Amino acid sequence: MKRILDWFGANPMRSAIACIVAILVLGSAANMLSPPQMVRNWYPYLSHTPQVEISETGFSVSPVSDWSYDYGVETDTTYQDSASYNFDHLRRVWFMLEPQPGSQLAAHTLLLFEFEGDRLLGLTIEARREEGEDYSAFHGQFNAFELIYIWASARDLLVRRAVMLDHEVFVYPVDITDEQNRMLLTHLLERSQSLSHTPRYYNTIVSNCTNELAKAAGFHWAPAYVLTGRSDEYLYRRGILPGASFEQAHRRSDITTFVQALNEAPPEVFDRALLQELRRRNHL
């Protein structure tokens, strides 16, 4: 013990660094060893745990987030109590990308599921933050956040990003078969259903928004699932996002200005107007 104390006395700077490292390691270890929780003081947008019911012919989700926004502010926090859909009415999947401002390597990825009658249901997979807690990709590697699947209206997901946050948003048609569309949706519903009774941790590397989608699709791991800002380009190279070139596909998928203008329209016309514009751009 005397030799240890002598070393600390002779190397004060190294001692300080060693203590800081030890505190960080012990703190991370304690956090990583604690089980994920269902109940915390969640940030309001992340506070509702969706309940999913699946049958052979369809499914229901409750609640569905349908918040409203203006620039920099949430203006209404409405939820649809329950929304039901028939699997046979699924028409298309749309891939949505929200680049992180100032970075070409980071982005948030989401999906929109299009059903008969111009109905859209969106999914965002997020790090479930507590009230007053900021997201950190670094801390997200050490069980700092639980994982949550949020089912929401297309208006909620798009306007939140394009208007309230003033971020760019890109929406691409996904070129897969009807069977693959249904399989992807079913797997995501099952994973969401599991989270409603068995919480899991978010992880920046292995359980983020993009690789959770990739797992549900049955894809093998790829760098684009961590460097998520390039996930659209990766999907294009795989032939999943159509277009004569990636540049063309990327350019026509930029829906930011259109969504900002559409926020002035009544909520009930949002899905139809959005789909009409997306079909026009993609010649569908």
pLDDT tens string 114-131: 999 999 999 999 999 999
> What pLDDT is recorded for position 33?
64
> What pLDDT is recorded for position 16?
44
Please state the rounded mean pLDDT for residues 98-102: 94
Which of the four pLDDT bands, split at 50, 70 and 90, describes residue 23?
very low
pLDDT tens figures, 132-171: 999 999 999 999 999 999 999 999 999 999 999 999 999 9
Is the pLDDT at 27 greater than 60, yes or no? Answer: no
Share of the chain above pLDDT 90, in %: 84
Count Cβ atoms within 10 A of the Cβ of residue 28 and give its class: 0-12 exposed, 13-18 middle, 19 or more buried: middle
pTM: 0.88
Is the pLDDT at 44 greater than 70, yes or no? Answer: yes
State the chain's mean pLDDT as an integer: 90
Q: Where are the alpha helices (DSSP H) in 11-97?
A: 12-33
State the angle between helix axes of 12-33 and 2-10 in degrees (0 to 180), rounded to the nearest 10.
Answer: 110
Q: Which residues contact 150 (CB under 8 A, 6 or more apart)?
A: 45, 46, 48, 50, 65, 123, 124, 125, 126
Which of the four pLDDT bands, split at 50, 70 and 90, describes residue 2?
low
> What pLDDT is recorded for position 6?
53
